[in-house]
């Protein structure tokens, strides 16, 4: 321990000496900096505390990134930051390079055990004229911190201040940590299949706004989307269709691992969902012995649900589920497995309870913590299971009575597939219309569940009406950005009037990344040098 502290201090000290030596040697006059206001920059989600010191750090070709050597993962976070700076402003910033003779200013990503940083995702940013110090206890905290830093890098350089291009970053101090530890989005890849590339793009955008979980709805009546080696017909037959009669698709295990790896690199947990005992038509068509609704299962491309069920009283059904949960759990480093459990309208109540109890044991046996839609609170599950509130406040309260944690994602507030208004072509409106302000103006922590029972929030995107990434983006953006703030920012720092200005300022980021967002008329979208037209297909 003493040795680590010693080595760390030695490294930091030598770094500072090198920087000072460089400055002395070159005797460069300081570049005059513009007057800035860190607290007026449009950051989303809004940090806990921002103090402006009204000067700036000049990001330029003489800037370098260094990271704590002894702490794992910090170097990768530094490289990620450099890559994103390159994508944004086409500037190469070296990471942990020894030769420092051309370095004037440093961004130092530092592992710190300070008490203020005692939650895993907390970070502090100290921005001065010559250095930016990002302190975090864990590499996860450092990763959240660099998202803030990315948002502080201006889109265009200020060429009037110096001979070379500089991008002034407003100076001051930011202290930050999340309101909820679970900040999720969900994507339904069962009703329509989305490629690995599409999912990666969504992950990348979500991680910019500090989401830390992506729940993948991998099976439903219309399609089975994940390869299970011990039951190959699931994808061969069950993966061959989707809503509307298109040809479906599925992730091979290699594809799934690649999604998990990509998410991990962005400190996001993938939560796999296999929906059961209802929503199981595609599995039952593949292996008819699973079926419990008394009919002969056929491939299904419609949108109505609630007609399918597994046969909950057969041992072979549980042997099947054991294989599925095992194969998926082995590829999933995150702690959760989502077993669905919603809308099992043709499963008898006793059978449903019996089924959920048995599946919980299987999930636990494979080392995972079970999540299920709010109906699972009716079973005799233990307090370790998590209920995801989508429809029934009564069920959510039953979960609280069992001392379970709840994911707050009520359809009428947080469903990304609800239409913006009656003119929106994509999406549904069974839970109401959700314009951009309605999506933001509610308080998950005052919605009926005690704060200590709330694991966090989630924004599900069901895909009955969307079949490509442009359509996905049209429903998700901009509302999902607001959900990031509901999950990360403390309620006292959330305010629609203030948020809507910050949201308008996201346009250049969204356009640079070719995001087909809905240009809500409630928002004054910032003009940018990028032009990208929003499209909504019939
Ligand atoms: C309800 S939310 C469902 C889904 C649909 C969605 C459409 C939930 C647990 N079940 O099967 O896709 O509505 O909005």
pLDDT tens, 118-174? Answer: 899 999 999 999 999 999 999 999 999 999 999 999 999 888 877 889 999 999 999
471 and 328 housed in the same domain = yes
Q: Which own/partner contact pairs does 348-354 have at CB distance under 8 Å and 24+ positions apart?
A: 349/378, 351/277, 351/292, 351/312, 351/313, 352/277, 352/312, 352/378, 352/379, 353/378, 353/379, 353/380, 354/312, 354/313
**Does 19 have pLDDT greater than 80?**
no
171 and 186 housed in the same domain = no
User: What's the CA gap between 96 and 109, in Å, rounded?
Assistant: 10
pLDDT tier for residue 530 given thresholds of 50, 70 and 90: low
CA separation, residue 38 to residues 50, 66, 93, 236, 491 (Å): 7, 23, 22, 55, 21
pTM of the model: 0.95
User: What's the CA gap between 120 and 142, in Å, rounded?
Assistant: 9
Q: What is the per-residue DSSP string for 205-235?
A: HHHHTT--EEEEE-EETTEE-B--TTSTHHH
538 in a domain, yes or no? no
362 and 315 housed in the same domain = yes
Structure tokens at 350: 């006793």
Q: What average pLDDT does the segment 530-536 reach?
A: 64
- Decide if 343 is catalytic: yes
202 and 151 housed in the same domain = no
Q: What average pLDDT does the segment 378-386 reach?
A: 94
pLDDT tens-digit readout, 440-487? 999 999 999 999 999 999 999 999 999 999 999 999 999 999 999 999
pLDDT tens-digit readout, 277-291? 999 999 999 999 999
Residue nearest to atom 2 of ligand 1 (CA): 390
The contacts of residue 150 (CB under 8 Å, 6+ apart) are 81, 84, 85, 88, 208
163 and 109 housed in the same domain = yes
CATH number at residue 303: 3.20.20.80
Query: Is 174 strand, coil or helix?
Result: strand
534 in a domain, yes or no? no
pLDDT tens-digit readout, 324-342? 999 999 999 999 999 999 9
Among 106-120, 165-179, 229-243, the range scoring the smallest mean pLDDT is: 106-120
Percent of the chain with pLDDT over 90: 86
pLDDT tier for residue 1 given thresholds of 50, 70 and 90: very low
207 and 80 housed in the same domain = no
Mutate to test the pocket of ligand 1, among 280, 305, 374, 424 (most ligand atoms within 8 A of CB): 305
Q: Are 284 and 227 in contact (CB under 8 A)?
A: no
List alpha helices for 132-195, DSSP H: 139-152
Residue nearest to atom 5 of ligand 1 (CA): 462
Regarding the beta carbon of 337 and ligand 1, being less than 6 Å apart is answered no
Give me the domain span that covers residue 58: 2-176
Residue nearest to atom 4 of ligand 1 (CA): 462
Q: What average pLDDT does the segment 174-182 reach?
A: 98
What DSSP element (H or E) covers 337?
strand 336-340
270 and 166 housed in the same domain = no
User: What's the CA gap between 257 and 276, in Å, rounded?
Assistant: 23
pLDDT tier for residue 24 given thresholds of 50, 70 and 90: very low
**Does 367 have pLDDT greater than 80?**
yes
User: What's the CA gap between 15 and 218, in Å, rounded?
Assistant: 49
The pLDDT, as a whole number, for residue 529 is: 65
521 in a domain, yes or no? no
Regarding the beta carbon of 375 and ligand 1, being less than 6 Å apart is answered no
195 and 164 housed in the same domain = no
* Total structural domains within the chain: 2
Nearest partner of 264 among 124, 145, 388, 143, judged by Cα: 143
Please identify, among 129, 146, 176, the residue that sits at the C-terminal boundary of a domain: 176
pLDDT tens-digit readout, 481-521? 999 999 999 999 999 999 999 999 999 999 999 999 999 99
Structure tokens at 468: 């490509």
Structure tokens at 40: 């007026």
User: What's the CA gap between 499 and 486, in Å, rounded?
Assistant: 11
CA separation, residue 335 to residues 268, 271, 379 (Å): 12, 8, 21
The pLDDT, as a whole number, for residue 13 is: 39
Residue nearest to atom 6 of ligand 1 (CA): 462
Please identify, among 144, 176, 208, the residue that sits at the C-terminal boundary of a domain: 176
Please identify, among 155, 176, 197, the residue that sits at the C-terminal boundary of a domain: 176
List alpha helices for 420-522, DSSP H: 436-440, 469-476, 479-488, 496-504, 507-512
Ligand 1 center from residue 400 Cα (angstroms) = 22
Regarding the beta carbon of 518 and ligand 1, being less than 6 Å apart is answered no
The pLDDT, as a whole number, for residue 31 is: 78
User: What's the CA gap between 221 and 278, in Å, rounded?
Assistant: 8
Mutate to test the pocket of ligand 1, among 308, 411, 465 (most ligand atoms within 8 A of CB): 411
Nearest partner of 483 among 402, 407, 400, judged by Cα: 407
**Does 21 have pLDDT greater than 70?**
no
Q: Three-state SS string across 297-331, please?
A: CCCCCCCCCCCCCECCCCHHHHHHHHHHHHHHHHC
Ligand 1 center from residue 349 Cα (angstroms) = 20
Regarding the beta carbon of 303 and ligand 1, being less than 6 Å apart is answered no
Nearest partner of 103 among 215, 174, 23, 205, judged by Cα: 23
269 in a domain, yes or no? yes
117 and 240 housed in the same domain = no
The pLDDT, as a whole number, for residue 535 is: 72
Give the mean pLDDT of the chain. Answer: 93
Residue whose token pair is 């500037």? 91
280 in a domain, yes or no? yes
Neighbours of 25 (CB within 10 A): 9
CATH number at residue 106: 3.30.379.10
pLDDT tens-digit readout, 2-17? 344 434 444 453 454 4
154 and 203 housed in the same domain = no
User: What's the CA gap between 253 and 331, in Å, rounded?
Assistant: 8
The pLDDT, as a whole number, for residue 27 is: 46
508 in a domain, yes or no? no
The contacts of residue 126 (CB under 8 Å, 6+ apart) are 132, 133, 134, 135, 173
Percent of the chain with pLDDT over 70: 93
Give the CB-side neighbour count of residue 122, counting CA atoms within 13 A.
Answer: 13
Mutate to test the pocket of ligand 1, among 243, 307, 462, 475 (most ligand atoms within 8 A of CB): 462
Of the residues 227, 242, 343, 375, only one is catalytic, namely 343
517 in a domain, yes or no? no
454 in a domain, yes or no? yes
- The length of the chain in residues reads 538
172 and 186 housed in the same domain = no
The pLDDT, as a whole number, for residue 538 is: 52
The pLDDT, as a whole number, for residue 100 is: 64
User: What's the CA gap between 450 and 445, in Å, rounded?
Assistant: 7
List alpha helices for 409-538, DSSP H: 411-414, 436-440, 469-476, 479-488, 496-504, 507-512
164 and 187 housed in the same domain = no
């Amino acid at each position: 321990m003493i040795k680590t502290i010693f080595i760390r201090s030695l490294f930091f000290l030598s770094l500072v000496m090198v920087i000072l030596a460089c400055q002395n040697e070159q005797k460069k006059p300081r570049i005059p900096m513009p007057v800035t206001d860190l607290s007026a920059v449009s950051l989303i989600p809004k940090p806990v505390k921002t103090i402006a010191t009204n000067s700036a750090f000049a990001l330029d070709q003489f800037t370098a990134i260094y990271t704590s050597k002894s702490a794992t993962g910090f170097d990768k976070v530094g490289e990620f930051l450099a890559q994103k700076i390159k994508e944004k402003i086409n500037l190469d910033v070296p990471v942990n390079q020894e030769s420092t003779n051309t370095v004037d200013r440093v961004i130092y990503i530092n592992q710190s055990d300070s008490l203020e940083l005692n939650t895993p995702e907390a970070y502090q940013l100290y921005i001065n004229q010559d250095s930016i110090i990002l302190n975090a206890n864990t590499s996860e905290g450092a990763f959240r911190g660099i998202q803030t830093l990315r948002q502080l890098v201006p889109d265009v350089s200020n060429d009037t201040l110096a001979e070379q291009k500089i991008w002034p970053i407003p100076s001051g101090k930011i202290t930050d940590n999340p309101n909820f530890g679970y900040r999720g989005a969900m994507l339904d890849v069962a009703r329509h299949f989305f490629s690995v590339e599409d999912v990666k793009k969504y992950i990348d955008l979500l991680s910019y706004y500090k989401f830390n979980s992506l729940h993948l709805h991998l099976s439903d009546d219309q399609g089975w989307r994940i390869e299970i080696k011990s039951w190959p017909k699931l994808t061969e037959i069950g993966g061959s269709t989707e809503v509307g009669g298109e040809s479906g698709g599925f992730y091979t295990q290699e594809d799934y691992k690649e999604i998990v790896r990509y998410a991990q690199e962005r400190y996001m947990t993938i939560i796999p969902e296999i929906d059961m005992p209802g929503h199981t038509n595609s599995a039952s068509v593949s292996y008819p012995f699973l079926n419990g609704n008394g009919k002969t299962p056929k491939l299904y491309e419609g949108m109505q649900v609630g007609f399918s069920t597994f046969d909950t009283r057969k041992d072979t059904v549980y042997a099947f589920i054991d294989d599925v949960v095992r194969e998926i759990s082995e590829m999933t480093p995150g702690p959760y497995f989502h077993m669905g459990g919603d809308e099992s309208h043709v499963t008898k109540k006793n059978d449903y309870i019996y089924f959920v109890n048995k599946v919980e044991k299987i999930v636990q046996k494979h080392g995972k913590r079970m999540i299920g839609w709010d109906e699972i609170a009716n079973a005799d599950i233990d307090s370790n299971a998590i209920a995801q509130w989508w429809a029934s406040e009564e069920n959510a309260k039953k979960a609280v009575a069992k001392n379970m944690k709840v994911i707050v994602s009520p359809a009428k507030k947080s469903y990304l597939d609800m239409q913006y208004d009656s003119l929106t072509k994509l999406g549904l409106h069974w839970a109401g219309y959700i314009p951009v302000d309605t999506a933001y103006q509610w308080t998950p922590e005052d919605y009926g569940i005690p704060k200590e029972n709330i694991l966090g929030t989630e924004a599900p995107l069901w895909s009955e009406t969307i079949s490509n990434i442009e359509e996905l983006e049209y429903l998700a953006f901009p509302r999902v950005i607001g959900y990031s703030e509901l999950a990360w920012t403390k309620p006292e720092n959330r305010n629609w009037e203030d948020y809507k200005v910050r949201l308008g300022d996201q346009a250049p980021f969204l356009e640079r990344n070719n995001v087909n967002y809905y240009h809500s008329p409630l928002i004054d979208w910032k003009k940018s040098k990028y032009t990208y037209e929003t499209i909504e297909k019939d």
